[in-house]
Structures are given as structure tokens and as C-alpha cells.
Structure 1
Amino acid sequence: MKKHTFAILTAGLFGGVAVTPAHAGGGGMGAILGATFPEQIIQEVTLGNQYAQEATQTAQQIQMLYNQTRNLQSIPMMMWPSISGQLMNLVNVIGNAQGLSYATANTAAAVQAQFGTPSGLLPNYGASLQQWTSNFDNQIAGVLQTYHLNSNQFQNTQMTMSMIEQMGQSATGRLQAIQAGNQLAGIAANQVQSLQSDIEAGNQAELNFMAMQAHSMVDQSNTVTPALNAPFAPGAF
């Protein structure tokens, strides 16, 4: 679902209803300072779409480079800048997607803290995002192990980029990097697309639930206010 569709839906559902800023209960990548929950939820969907596209494009570029080198016994240094550049893009895509998963889980927890726990999809939403992160990490570790790379040396973006630079210093390392990178890029494209689909479904459910709860509070207020403002009838007490 596109960003403007979510925006129109949100305006209709929450018109006139005050909603707490999203950053008050969470944080993480993608959080908008001062944004309300609906605004944060829309931003997460937008980022999910963006990262899915970036993951697909990066996988395609790495696949092209891999195809150019697959019959080579070693990769010449002149090809390394193109390869390392795309591998750096892949590192950023993976980091951004994992950060978005954490941020979205934080938002889901904050929504439940303010509006209560819904039935159906949402109670397991945060757990499913955590499971996505765990599965992705395990797949990455599996690929690194296949190519005899120590996953402890790829714990964060800075360490990973440093390792890529080190691998570029030898023909064997460059070949190892493009082979592992090509496999990781394919996994990342599939995983980030899965995350994007989960966020669209989960965040739509969040909006629906929040709207239902917010309108319920408004209805209760509209019922109580006339009674409080009604004039007392003589002899009522």
C-alpha cells in the first residue's frame, strides 16, 4: 500500500482525535521526532517499501558482477571498486532493514501500552518481527560459515565494512567476497520483501485498532458530557 493511501486512511480514522507522539514510548531507526503513532506507522510502511526496492536493486547489481566473475579463478583488482561498492550497499540495506524491524517492534509495543492489547494479529506482531530478525541473522551466519568467514567479525556495519576492505587486498579474498555477497544479496532481497509485507499488514492492523479505540473513547466522552452539562431538575435530590 502506498504512503498516500495510508495518509488518507489515517486522516479519516483519526480526525479530531489526539494521539500521543510515537517517540515517547520507543525509538530506533525511522522514528520521527514528535511524530504521532499514525505518522510513525506510515513512515515505517514507507521505509519498508524503500528498503525492499533497494534490496532488490542491490541483489541485481551484485548478481551482474558475480556473473562477470564466475568463470574467473581470481578477481582482478580493477574490478574491486565496483564489487566493494555494491557490497557496501548490501551492508547498508541489511542494517537499515534490521533497524526498521526493531523500530517497528518498539512502535507496536508502545501502541499496545497506550491503547491496550488487541485480539488477532497484533499480540504476536512484535514477536514476529523479532523472529524475522533472528531468522535473518541465522541465514547470514550460515552463508558466512559456508565461505569460512567468522560471523564474529561481521557484528556491525563498521566491522563488516572493515572486513570487506581486508578481503579486497587479495585475489582470493575478492573472489570469496563476491561469492558470499551474491548469496547474501539474494537472501536479503527475499527477507526484506518479507519484512515489508509483514509491516504493511501489521501496521494496517495497528491503524485499524487505534482508530477503533480512539473512536470508542470519543463516543464515551460524547455520552458523558451532555449528562454532566445537563441542568438539575428541581427536587432531583
Structure 2
Amino acid sequence: MNTELLKSPISSARKSRIRNALVLAMKSTSLGMGLYLASPAAYAIYCSNCSTFYQQMFEYVEAVNTALNTAEQLQTQIQQYQNMVTQGTGLPSTMFGSIAADLKNVANIYTRSQSLGRQIQNMDSQFNTAFPGFQSYLNQAANSAEVPARERYQKWSEQNRDSVKAALEAANLNTSTFESEDTQLDHMVARSQSAVGRMQAIQAGSEIASQNVQQLQKLRDLLATQINMQGNYMAQQGDRKAASEAAEQKFEARRNNWGPSEDF
């Protein structure tokens, strides 16, 4: 199982370029000053005295990767339970506590991924507010397959919720009477305490565990694309500023070489 930290699909050279551009951007914004994103306390990321927006975004890369690694481990474990049931091996009573705990962890990973998605979306919105020209930059590159679609995180979150609901319904766990996702997931865990409900809970949990892995992989890709596009935009702005300053310095140098003006 892959337990390495996420290697973002961004080269070292481009990473350095993105970092330098975002450091420049932070000199004129407040995004990097001890940023706290409102969200459930258990999953919030507080970056004390962060000096760059770039650093903050890569904190999220690591958080998503950690959640993904855990999700993959849980997917393997729940699948083992389901295989035992399918093959008629039976589940020893000594495993019941572990099954309930693993199902609870599956639910927690889902909640965590949703929270991370909201926090990253919040960061994305703050970047767009701080740099209004970024949307124009995206519009100009609209034909590029790498350009992130608007409301992409909202769509990702909705797909997550739909997947959970479908998994629970497929296992005959009625969700229509429950108001929130948390309540639905708690119901799944509670059902694992009975003989009949345990089979249903494992079926639903296995599907949700698989969806957790897929959705976190998608979130990782969305985040990598976001960092790439925003970094490229800031690098472009830095190049324009450097060119403008060079032209201004050249003009001033020429003026200094003209000498004193003559009176007529």
C-alpha cells in the first residue's frame, strides 16, 4: 500500500517558479497571515505565521494525502470483511468491535474529505477575491483541458453525497427518514451491532470506503490543478511586472544620458 507523501504532479522547477510568484503575491495581500478557515474544529488547518499562500496550499496537499492513505487502508480492511461474508466464512464475534470501529472510521474519513473540500474551496474563493484578474486568465485559457471548471468543488461535494446515499440504499439501509449525512452514517455503524444489520452495514461500508478513495483522489487532482493554474497566473503577473520595471529603468537611463536641456 502506498504510504508515501503525495508527490504533486508539478516539476521541481515549476514548483520553485510557482512558489516565488506566490511569495511575491503575498507581499500585497493578507492571505498568508496566520490564516484560519472556519470549519469543524477536528479538521481545520491552522497555519501559524504562514508566510505564503503557496505554503498554505501545500498544507492541504499533505492533509488530502494523509486522508487518502487512511481511506485506502480502510478500503482494504472493509473489503476483507465483505469477502469473508461472501465466501461464507462467517465473522467471529471477536471481530464485531473492530468492524464497528472500522465502519466508524470510514464515516469519519468521508466527513473529513468533505471538510477539506470546503476549506480548499474557501481558499480558492479568497484567491479569486484578492486577484480579480485570475478569472480573466482562466477565461482566456478556456480551451485548455487543465483549466478547472467553475464550481468544481461544489460539484465534487455533491457527487460525494450522492455516492453515499446510493451505497446506503443499495444495502437496503433506508435514508429517507434521516435529515443529515452524519445521521445516515451513524445509522450504518449502529446497524453493524446486529447480525442482520451487520451484513448490510459491511456492504454499504465497503462501497463508501471505495468511494472515499476515489473522491479523495479527485480532490487531490483538483487541488494540484488549482495550485498549478494559480501559480502560473502569479508567475505571469511577475513576468509582466519585471518587464515593466526593466522598460522603466531603461527609459530613465536614457533620460540621464540626454544631458541638460538648452534654452532657446
TM-score by length of 1: 0.78
* Deviation at residue 180 of structure 1 after TM alignment: 0.9
Instruction: String of CA shifts for 1:190-215, please: whole Å, max 9, x gaps.
Output: 22212212221222111111222244
The CA deviation at 1:34 is 4.3
Change (3 A) 1:113 1:16: closer
Whichever of the two has the greater Rg, that structure is 2
Describe the shift of the 1:114–1:15 C-alpha distance in structure 2 as closer, same or farther (beyond 3 A).
closer
Cα deviation for residue 161 of structure 1 reads 6.1
> 2-side partners of 1:187 and 1:52: how far apart?
11
From 24, 47, 64, give the equivalent of 1:32: 47
Contact 2:104 2:186 survives alignment (8 Å): no
Partners of 1:154 and 1:75 in 2: how far apart?
32
What's the counterpart of residue 128 of structure 1? 152
- Structure-2 residue corresponding to 1:177: 201
Indicate which of 182, 185, 207 corresponds to 2:231. 207
Cα deviation, 1:115-165, whole Å, max 9, x if unaligned, reads: 2222236874451121111111111111112223243647254x3564345
Match of 2:3 in 1: none
- Out of 79, 88, 92, the residue aligned to residue 63 of structure 1 is 79
Q: Is the 8 A contact 1:59 1:182 kept in 2?
A: yes
- C-alpha displacement of 1:66: 1.5
Question: What stretches of structure 1 of length at least 5 have no aligned partner?
Answer: none
Q: How many residues align?
A: 235
Quickly say closer, same or farther: Cα 1:171–1:153, change in 2 above 3 A: same
Superposition map of 1:84-233 within 5 A: 84-115=100-131, 116=133, 117=135, 118-119=137-138, 120=141, 124-151=148-175, 153=178, 155-157=180-182, 159=183, 162-217=186-241, 219-220=243-244
Give the distance between the partners of 1:205 and 1:60, measured in 2 at CA: 34
Q: Are the equivalent residues in 2 in contact too, given 1:74–1:175 (CA < 8 A)?
A: no
For the Cα contact (< 8 Å) 2:21–2:235, is it kept in 1? yes
Please tell me whether the aligned partners of residues 59 and 186 of structure 1 are also in contact (alpha carbons under 8 angstroms). Answer: yes
How far apart in 1 are the matches of 2:153 and 2:127?
15
Checking the alignment, whether the CA contact within 8 Å between 1:125 and 1:202 is kept in structure 2 is no
Contact 2:71/2:212 (CA < 8 Å) preserved in 1? Answer: yes
| Residue ranges of structure 2 left out of the alignment (5+ in a row) | 1-5
Output the amino acid matched with 1:2: K
For residues 185 and 211 of structure 2, the distance between their equivalents in structure 1, rounded to whole angstroms, comes to 19
**Greater helix percent: which structure?**
1
218-227 vs 129-138, greater mean Cα deviation: 218-227
Aligned CA-pair RMSD: 3.6
Q: Is the 8 A contact 1:66 1:179 kept in 2?
A: yes
- Of residues 22, 26, 31, the one that matches 2:31 is 22
**What SS does the aligned partner of 1:20 have?**
coil
* Contact persistence 2:23–2:54 (CA under 8 A): no
Q: Which moved more, 1:186-195 or 1:57-66?
A: 186-195
Q: Alpha-carbon deviation of 1:15?
A: 5.6
Counterpart-to-counterpart distance in 2, 1:227 and 1:95: 58
Q: When the two structures are superposed, what TM-score results if normalisation uses the length of structure 2?
A: 0.71
Measure the CA separation in 2 of the matches of 1:31 and 1:23. 11
Distance 2:104 2:233 in 1: 39
